[in-house]
């Protein structure tokens, strides 16, 4: 009798975990059951509840078609949206909780199509069979939270393993994005990937090209912002997926880093990423992580073999910034992300001109001005970029950067460095020079800003005197 009692205890414990994942789901389940329809909590919320992880998503699945779902929640939900209804999904809000209900379905890609063909089904088990991985193919029937696990997802959770419910070739053929999702879950959950899944990824990597850039971007961002991004990125490279998604990354693998002759730039970049993550204060920073990962992608194009067996990568930061902008644009990242990441890549070597603290105050001001709102991220990236095993050298670099930050703080306190504006504004420039609004005011403003960077605060009277001298030299009456 012990085994049945253990099963009852386990089912009760699972039900208790799942019940906390969706406070309003049971009431909705009763509503569907009364109308003769099935409803089940499914996928990520079930997985995360069993892992005791918090989740914002509440995903439900049903045998009711979308039109019937709309009828059943009419007057019950506080708000309804139908953005995904062509794929069988209806969204709703109830008592502050957001839920998505999707009709049982199977979907697959035509070899030349970027969008799935959707066919509705009538079986929960068959709906689970079409899902990406067994850990996401578990469900809880509502009401009552009856646990459904036809493909051994619970065992995989315990073992930390990613398997597909059926043959991985069939799963990836249905939706090639699932190959990228395998890498994403390896990053987020720290799970290993079953050998047959990895083999299928290697064989079918090229199929990822039929998936839209936006979907690839979203998965890549989740991977990079995961708890274990190294594992996910390594799987991308080892499987060949990176050659289609982020081809600059595997190209780093064979390039020798000038600071570490026995470690390639690929490995260096992963270490820099990990060291940047260690400095995060408020959760994952996508911009910082992408900059850390991509900061050296210009090295393969700039590699030169020098006398004495040396290897140089002159201006790789400038080339890398252009490559970063091009790649992130192709992946449809927002303009602000593209701009910020590529700017950090461009600036990541600037500190190394600081030497042993020889920069003038003017040079420090320019460093701050060029970094702008990215200054704190640039601090973190620069510190992360030190991966030398030479403790003495690492300590010297740390002390030198500490000194630079102290100087920035002192100048900021003395001169309101963050504001970084000329001492005369546009109206004052017009008054001093006796000119009207136009391009000339902008030229004068730039002159005064450079003056401020070079000389610091000199007072309005001296600034006006310098402005008149500049105008005379420019032939401006």
Q: What is the pLDDT along the chain (477 residues), one digit of tens a residue?
A: 333 444 545 566 677 767 666 778 888 999 999 999 999 999 888 898 888 887 777 899 999 999 999 999 999 999 999 988 888 999 999 988 889 999 998 655 566 665 666 678 889 999 999 899 999 999 999 988 889 999 999 999 999 999 999 999 999 998 999 999 999 999 999 999 999 999 999 999 999 999 999 999 999 999 999 999 999 999 999 999 999 999 999 999 855 544 444 458 999 999 999 999 999 998 999 999 999 999 999 998 888 887 777 777 888 999 999 999 999 999 999 999 999 999 999 999 988 877 766 788 888 888 888 898 899 999 999 999 988 888 888 888 888 888 888 888 887 776 655 556 788 888 888 888 888 888 888 888 888 888 887 777 888 888 888 888 888 888 875
Q: Which CATH class is domain 2-153?
A: alpha beta
- Cα dihedral 375, 377, 378, 382 sign: positive
Q: Which of 212, 133, 201, 138 is nearest to 173 (CA)?
A: 201
Instruction: Decide if 296 contacts 217 (C-beta within 8 A).
Output: no
Q: Where are the domains of the chain?
A: 2-153, 426-473
* CA atoms of 122 and 127, how far apart (whole Å): 8
Instruction: Decide if 298 contacts 318 (C-beta within 8 A).
Output: yes
Question: Hey, what are 94's tokens?
Answer: 């109830």
* CA atoms of 312 and 310, how far apart (whole Å): 7
Query: Residue holding tokens 């780093």?
Result: 252
């Amino acid at each position: 009798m012990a085994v049945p009692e253990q099963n009852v205890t386990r089912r009760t414990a699972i039900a208790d975990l799942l019940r906390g994942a969706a406070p309003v789901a049971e009431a909705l389940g009763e509503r569907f059951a009364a109308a003769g329809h099935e409803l089940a909590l499914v996928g990520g919320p079930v997985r995360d509840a069993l892992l005791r992880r918090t989740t914002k998503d509440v995903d439900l699945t049903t045998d009711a078609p979308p039109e019937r779902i709309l009828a059943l929640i009419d007057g019950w939900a506080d708000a309804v949206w139908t953005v995904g209804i062509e794929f069988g999904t209806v969204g709703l809000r109830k008592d502050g909780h957001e839920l998505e209900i999707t009709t049982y379905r199977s979907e697959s890609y035509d070899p030349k199509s970027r969008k799935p063909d959707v066919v509705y089904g009538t079986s929960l088990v068959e709906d689970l069979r079409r899902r990406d991985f067994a850990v996401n193919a578990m469900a809880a029937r509502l009401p009552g939270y009856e646990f459904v696990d036809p493909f051994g997802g619970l065992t995989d959770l315990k073992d930390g393993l990613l398997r597909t419910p059926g043959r991985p070739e069939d799963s990836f053929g249905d939706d090639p994005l699932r190959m990228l999702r395998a890498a994403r879950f390896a990053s987020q959950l720290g799970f290993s990937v079953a050998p047959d899944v990895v083999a299928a990824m290697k064989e079918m990597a090229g199929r990822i090209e039929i998936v839209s850039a936006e979907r690839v971007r979203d998965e890549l961002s989740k991977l990079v912002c995961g708890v274990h991004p190294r594992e996910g990125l390594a799987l991308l490279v080892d499987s060949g997926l990176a050659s289609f998604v982020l081809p600059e990354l595997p190209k780093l693998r064979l390039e020798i880093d000038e600071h570490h002759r026995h470690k390639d730039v690929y490995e260096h970049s992963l270490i820099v990423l990990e060291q940047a993550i260690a400095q995060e204060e408020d959760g994952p920073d996508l911009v910082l992580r992408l900059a850390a990962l991509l900061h050296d992608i210009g090295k393969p194009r700039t590699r030169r073999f020098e006398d004495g067996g040396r290897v140089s990568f002159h201006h790789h930061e400038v080339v890398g910034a252009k490559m970063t902008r091009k790649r992130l644009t192709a992946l449809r990242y927002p303009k602000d992300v593209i701009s910020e990441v590529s700017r950090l890549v461009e600036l990541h070597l600037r500190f190394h001109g600081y030497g042993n603290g020889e920069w003038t105050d003017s040079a420090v001001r320019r460093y701050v001005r060029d970094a702008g709102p990215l200054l704190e991220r640039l601090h973190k990236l620069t510190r992360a970029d030190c991966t030398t095993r030479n403790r003495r050298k690492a300590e010297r670099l740390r002390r030198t950067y500490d000194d630079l930050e102290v100087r920035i703080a002192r100048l900021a306190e003395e001169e309101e460095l963050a504001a970084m504006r000329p001492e005369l504004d546009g109206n004052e420039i017009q008054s001093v020079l006796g000119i009207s609004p136009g391009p000339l005011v902008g030229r004068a403003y730039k002159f005064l800003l450079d003056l401020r960077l070079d000389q610091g605060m000199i007072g309005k009277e001296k600034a006006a005197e310098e402005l008149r001298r500049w105008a005379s030299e420019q032939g401006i009456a």
